[in-house]
Structure formats: structure tokens, C-alpha cells
Amino acid sequence: MNEHWWRSAVIYQIYVRSFADSDGDGVGDLPGIRSRLPHVKELGVDGIWLTPFYPSPGADHGYDVSDYVDVDPQFGTLDDFDALVADAHRLGLRVIVDIVPNHTSNEHQWFRNAVSDPQHPDRARYIFRPGRDGEPPNVWTSAFGGPAWTLDDASGEYYLHLFTPEQPDLDWHNGRVREDFEEILRFWLDRGVDGFRIDVGQALYKAPDLHDVHQPEPRPAFADWHTGINQAEVHGLYRSWRRLADSYPDERMYVGEVVLENQVELAKYVRPDELQLTFNFTFLYEDWNAKALRARIERTLEAFGAVGATASWVLENHDVTRLPTRYGGGEEGRRRARAATLLLLGLPGAAFLYQGQELGLEEVELPDELRQDPVFFRTNGARKGRDGCRVPIPWSGGPPGFGFTAGSPWLPIPADWTALSAEAQEGSPQSSLALHRAALELRRRIDALRTGSFAWRESPSGTLLFERASGNETIVCVVNLNAEHLQLPDGELLLASEPAPGNLLPPSSAAWTRV
């Protein structure tokens, strides 16, 4: 079937500072990524998503952008970016870049102007308000802990930041902000990017009255509770962004980081004239539980189907604990993660893989003194933060550099990752890398898996069984979460995450069978 490439694409997320370092400073960079593109190609994905590489003081590791149309010197140059895109395209890989429109860095020239002179027109790009009885203007809290407002001493007014104080929120009700971002999108579209991942996609517009919204304790992973964000205006903005993308050749696309649990609300972002994709984070916070996962899948397919959109599936990214660790860690955690790979890639729609997921990397327990994530500091250590999933990739060899760097990696790579390096897994048919490659190869080759219809089949409790069908081909995906050994359907066993002697699939494993 000839369909929009993004509908069933598998996109590989590259966390730029942790992927590959070409100059020995211990921090990943664009030339490093170029040198490792063959790994990505061989893995068999359709494209890459690059996390922010723009000039940034690094308060939130690049999600605090001080210039949207350049490359931070620690990551390379615009020429390096162009060369990376050219190489990727030559290999048949699409390139998605991250756009951060909710907030800038406090060192962006706009914000510098805004605080240096309250009369400066750039002040209106941000949300400055007088305090209330000596307190911030409302009770909103930052996603990273503490109040969402910081006092601008010079003017006596507060400014809003949903994240760190170094990430002041833009005021999207200001038409100039809208115009500027259109320019920024054009800049990258003209340079040949295939699309954008939109950071904090649901929060750009704030309710104009900035009404009090009390944060539930503990703060939920999803933003549905926050009635001051997820405003209707954002849909008009995304319609205009879609028109912009559609004015370019070769189907440029958007994937929204829309952190909403309500799938009906989420699906609004992917109505036919809005974004093509939105992440669906429901698997990130779900246990290894057949009933719960099935309910999530059903809700997603129903809500996305209702608006004619393709679903998407995510198990890992740079903001959450690595999957094998979430699933209990150790050998059992790793088995479950391998099984989940066949679930992820067996479901209909687009899928996202996070660098290192293909190697089965676990979360790294770092000593507090090495932590860098502002989440750790702003919560006084109550939340450990996200450094543990951002440890650089072990490519080959051993400590300290593991082929990631000739120097010392910005976060230490655990010594016992020697056996997990890409080089060590290469050639081992039992490895996580081999499983990912095999699954992606089948998904590319078999239409039923990639674009076929979806239907549940009956299965015992503790298992998931569904089929994907196209033409006269049917593939059955079986996931045995925690039932007894499960009889696989008759047919040709294409791939299993664990050996299935006698066609009996053990617990914590999954398989694809052609029936």
C-alpha cells in the first residue's frame, strides 16, 4: 500500500549529547552522529529525531534555546548539520528536529531585552505579571518543582516558567511570537528537515485569566489536570503550521509532544488538518499487565481511529526511566523489555525508539554529585531526575570512553556495559540488537505488519493476541506477559523474543507468527 510515510514510520530518537562524540570533549555532537548513521541505517528505522542542538546555556540540556536558527558550538556548525541531513537522506533516513516553542532560554536576546527594559516590545513576548499580596501572580507550579513564577527584581513583576526559571514561557497570544516561529520553521524546512517534534505541544497557550490551578500531589505524569493550559487556540496554530509544512514537497511532518492521558483530547491534535502524529505516552506509565495494556491500546485505537489519525507508540525517551528497569530490572526486566519490543513494533501506527533501547540498556544509578538534571536540584533531590537514562551509548570497547568519546564521557558509562556495547552485541543472534534488527526488517518487508489491519484474537488471561492482515497475509502477534507457557498459533514462527521450544511461548516473551 502506498501511504503517507509517517503513518507507520519507526523513528529513532537521538539524544544529541549522549550519542557519539567526535572531538573528545565528552559530549556528543553532530559529526559524531554522522559517523554512527550506519548503525541507525542497519537497525532498520525510517528516520531520526534529533533532540535540541541549538545554541543554549544548557540549563535543561538544550531545551533552553538561546538561538533557534543555529547550532551550539559544542555540537558543531550549520555546515555539520547540512552534512548530517545530506548523509541521512543518502541513506534513506528522514530527519526530524526538535522545536521548543513553549519557552526560550533566559539568555535569548528577546528575554534579555524584556528584562533590561520593561518598555521594550520584546517584553510582551513573555508573560510578566504583578504579584498578588507579595506572592506570585497565581499558584501554578513548575513541572520541575517549585513555583512557576520568578521575580524580575528590576521591575518588581514576576515572569512565568512552566519549567526552570531559565526557561521563560512565551506568550503565544502575541502575534509576533507566532510570526517568528513561522520563520524558524521555514528556516529548517528550507534546510531540508523532514519534520519537527514539538516540545510541550499542549501548553503553548495559557488561559488568559491565568486562573489558579492547584497541583495534585504527587504531581501526575500527564498534564490533564492543568486547566490553565491545553487551550483551544493551539489547534488553530497547528492548522497553520500544517499548511506551512504542506507547502513544501516530500511530506514534511510534525509529531507533538502532547502530554495528555485522555486519548480523545490527545486525538484532537491529529485531526486531518493538524499535526500528523502525536506521541502517545500511555505505555510509559503502565505496568507489565495484559489487561491494562490492552485497555490502553483499545482506547488509543478508538480515539485516533475516530479522527482518521494513525496511532503512535512509545516505550522510552530521554525523560523516563529505561524500560528494563521499569519492568523490574535484571534478567526479568530485560526479558519483558524484549517482549515489549515485539508488542511496540507489532501494533498499527508509528513507533519511536530511544537510542540505546535497541541495546537493552538499563537505567544507571548515578551518585548524586554527578547528577545534572535540573529536576534533581529543583526538588532538592526528592526526584532523582532523568540523568540515568541519558548516559552515553556504549559503542565498543570499555571504560571510560566505550567508543563514545576519546575523552571522558559527560556522565560515566558503567564498566559492566562492556558486554552490552553495540560491538559486543554485533553478531550475537540472541542479543537485544539482533532482535530489534530482525523485528524492524520484518516490519519493513511484510505489509501486514507495517500497514495491515488490526484485530484482537481471543487469548488466555495474562496474554495479548492480535492479528495484522493485508491481502492474503496474516501475522499474529502473541505476547505472553505472565500466563503459563502459551501455545503459539499454527503457522510459520517469524520471530520470538525468547526460544519457544515445542511452539510453547514462555512467560515474559512475545512472538510473531505468519498464519
Which residues are identified as catalytic? 199, 257
Q: Least distance to ligand NOJ from the beta carbon of 319, Å?
A: 5
Nearer residue to ligand NOJ within complex by CB, 257 or 498: 257
Distance CA 401, CA 408 (A): 6
Distance in Å, CB of 271 to ligand NOJ, minimum: 23
Shorter beta-carbon distance to ligand NOJ: residue 6 or 49: 49
Least distance in angstroms from the C-beta of 9 to ligand NOJ = 19
Give whichever of 360 and 374 is closer to ligand NOJ, judged by the CB atom.
374
Residues 232 and 247 sit within 8 Å (Cβ to Cβ): no
Q: Closer to ligand NOJ by CB, 169 or 194: give it.
A: 169
**By Cβ distance, which residue is nearest to ligand NOJ?**
63
From the CB of 164, what's the least distance to ligand NOJ, in Å?
8
Q: Which of 389, 355, 356, 404 is nearest to 32 (CA)?
A: 404
The dihedral region occupied by 243, where left means phi > 0, alpha psi between -120 and 50, and beta the remainder, is: alpha
Q: How far is the CB of 60 from ligand NOJ (least distance, A)?
A: 5
Nearest CB to ligand NOJ, comparing residues 258 and 448: 258
Question: Smallest distance, Å, CB 72 to ligand NOJ?
Answer: 15
Interface contacts to ligand NOJ, rule CB under 6 A = 60, 63, 100, 163, 199-200, 257, 318-319
CB of 64 closer than 8 Å to CB of 164 = yes
- Report the 10 Å Cβ neighbour count for 286: 14
Cell of 117: 527594559
Taking Cα atoms as reference points, which of 311, 199, 181 lies closest to residue 257?
A: 199
Closest by Cα among 300, 496, 345 to 12: 345
Judged by CB, which is closer to ligand NOJ: 321, or 470?
Answer: 321
Residue whose entry in the numeric block shows the C-alpha cell 531585552? 113
CA distances from 37 to 31, 61, 92, 177, 437 (A): 10, 22, 11, 35, 15
Q: Cell for 328? A: 523490574
Distance of CA 402 to the CA centre of its chain: 25
Q: How many CA atoms lie within 13 A of 302 on its CB side?
A: 9
